[in-house]
Amino acid sequence: MIKGFIFDLDGVITDTAELHYKAWKNLADEMGWDFDYEINDKLRGISRMDSIKVILDHNQASLDEETLAELATKKNDIYVSSLDEMTSEDYLPGAKELLTHLRTEGFNVALGSASKNAIKVLQQLNANMYFDVIGDGNSVSKSKPEPDIFLYGSEKMKLQPDECIVFEDAESGIDAAKAGGFYSVGIGPKERVGHADLRFDSMAEATLFEIKSHFKDLF
Ligand code: G16
Ligand code: MG
């Protein structure tokens, strides 16, 4: 029986991927590193420090941990200031409607984001009221594809993993949901989230009606 939902933030509730891209691009240009949208897509759902390592590997470069941390902080400063522009108009189409519907039907709802800036993003969107539990990059130490962030959410909601559906736009996020024993909904192309139990191209199609129709034995 499904009693709860756990939502990833970036790429599911709002599209911060573009803002992350601009901030990484800014740093990469300064460092003379190659960085494009294809690599940016590989950073979906993974932590800031893991992200900079992916960029470094792509450029066959190596730097000590301390320099890496400094550069990641620099990128983060650019990213965080770009969040000031975000408003309550910046939900991905369909996201606010689904969150509202889940509230009216009385489901438990948690956030399960890898971002350490999730609170700021929720504030900018004015989205706090949709969540009973906030799990973010500060809640657990092991990031996706480990299931810890989703297990944090289900435990706080006092639910078992198989009573929850996880929404994710990242390959590593669907891997994490599966590793934890959750049902999963992938948002995005088949090549990225085709291994989810159910997939939609975008949140606009992810209505509660569609979800209930697919997982009909679980409602
Ligand atoms: C998000 C993004 C990732 C980002 C990560 C950490 O995860 O998708 O690209 O690297 O957060 O973000 P921050 O640097 O703000 O801590 P999610 O899980 O919300 O998709
Ligand atoms: Mg995401």
Reference 97, options 216, 202, 213, 197; nearest CA is 202
d(CA 138, CA 109) in angstroms, rounded, equals 18
How far does the centroid of ligand 1 lie from the alpha carbon of residue 219, in Å? 31
Q: Quote the CA–CA distance of 135 and 83 in Å, as a whole number.
A: 19
Beta bridge partners of 165: 5, 183
Phi, psi (degrees; rounded to nearest 5) at 16: -85, -5
Q: Which amino acid is at 119?
A: I
| Nearest ligand 1 atom, CA 80 | 15
Q: Is 150 helix (H, G, I), strand (E, B) or coil?
A: helix
Task: CATH 3.40.50.1000 in the chain: give the residue spans.
Answer: 4-14+91-218
Cβ pair 176, 154 in contact under 8 A = no
Residue reference for tokens 């420090």: 49
Q: Which two tokens stand for residue 219?
A: 């409602």
Structure tokens at 209: 């009606």
> Would you state the pLDDT for residue 206?
98
Task: For the chain, count helices (H), then strands (E).
Answer: 10, 6
- Enter the pTM of the model: 0.94
CATH match for 17-83 among 1.10.287.110, 1.10.150.240, 1.20.120.1200, 3.40.50.1820: 1.10.150.240
Q: Which CATH superfamily is domain 4-14+91-218 in?
A: HAD superfamily/HAD-like (3.40.50.1000)
Task: Assess whether 8 carries a catalytic annotation.
Answer: yes
Residues ≥6 apart with Cβ < 8 Å to 190:
199
Which ligand is closest in space to the CA of residue 137? 1
Distance between CA 63 and CA 52 in Å, rounded? 10
pLDDT per residue as tens digits for the range 179-197: 999 999 999 999 999 999 9
Q: Which residues does a 6 A CB cutoff place in the pocket of ligand 1? A: 8-11, 20, 43-48, 51, 76, 113-117, 137, 170
pLDDT < 50 stretches in the chain? none
Place of tokens 């697919």: 214
Question: Which of ligand 1's atoms lies nearest the C-alpha of 137?
Answer: 16
Q: Whose CA is nearest to atom 7 of ligand 1?
A: 45
Comma-separated ranges of CATH 1.10.150.240 domains in the chain? 17-83
Model ipTM? 0.92
Mutating to test ligand 1, I would choose from 15, 43, 48, 142 the residue with most ligand atoms within 8 A of its C-beta, which is: 48
